[in-house]
């Protein structure tokens, strides 16, 4: 189980490392838009929308790994003072809540992505791209969050060091 747990964490770490580069693509797209709008007097219809579509995966794929490293905003007044079994119990409660959130989000978002795919949903803008690929990152990230929470539960229960 610990090997599987470390594998889930490795996948989430790799996706986090890949997704963080999307911010540079977003910056370049917005820079191109500003230059084309103000320097060339030829604004694009696609650059701001593509930057928005890139922001979803950038934001969503970081969440599961941030859960693992404790990078989310937390009110840790109680857990900062807890030690031993109490600290472990508080960590497990937080992981159960994260797993529940991931499961609920997966349950409700997957049908919406399928519906978007089935209808060939587009953004209805001037550029009008298909949007289901961007929407598909929500259930993917929810599943990864659920798996990461379960993996961290295994690690915590085993008393093993986090990978």
74: helix, coil or strand?
coil
The predicted pLDDT at position 71 comes to 78
Residue 163 has pLDDT above 60, yes or no: no
Tell me the C-alpha distance between 157 and 163, whole Å.
14
Which pLDDT band holds residue 19 (cuts at 50, 70, 90)? Answer: very high
Whole-structure pTM value: 0.87
DSSP letter at 7?
Answer: H
The predicted pLDDT at position 161 comes to 64
Residue 82 has pLDDT above 90, yes or no: no
Angle between the N-to-C axes of helices 137-158 and 84-119, in degrees from 0 to 180, rounded to the nearest 10? 160
Q: What does each C-alpha distance from 162 to 78, 85, 131, 155 come to in angstroms?
A: 21, 17, 36, 7
126-156 per-position pLDDT tens digit: 899 999 999 999 999 999 999 999 999 999 9
């Amino acid at each position: 189980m610990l090997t599987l747990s470390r594998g889930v964490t490795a996948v989430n770490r790799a996706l986090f490392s890949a997704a963080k580069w999307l911010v540079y693509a977003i910056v370049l797209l917005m820079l191109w838009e500003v230059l084309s709008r103000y320097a060339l007097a030829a604004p694009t219809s696609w650059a701001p929308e593509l930057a928005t579509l890139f922001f979803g995966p950038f934001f969503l794929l970081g969440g599961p790994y941030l859960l693992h490293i404790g990078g989310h905003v937390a009110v840790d007044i109680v857990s900062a003072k807890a030690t031993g079994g109490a600290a472990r119990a508080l960590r497990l409660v937080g992981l159960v809540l994260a797993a529940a959130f991931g499961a609920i989000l997966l349950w409700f978002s997957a049908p919406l992505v399928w519906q978007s795919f089935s209808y060939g949903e587009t953004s209805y803008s001037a550029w009008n791209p298909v949007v289901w690929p961007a929407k598909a990152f929500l259930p993917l990230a929810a599943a990864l969050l659920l798996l990461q929470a379960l993996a961290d539960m295994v690690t915590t229960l085993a008393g093993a060091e986090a990978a």
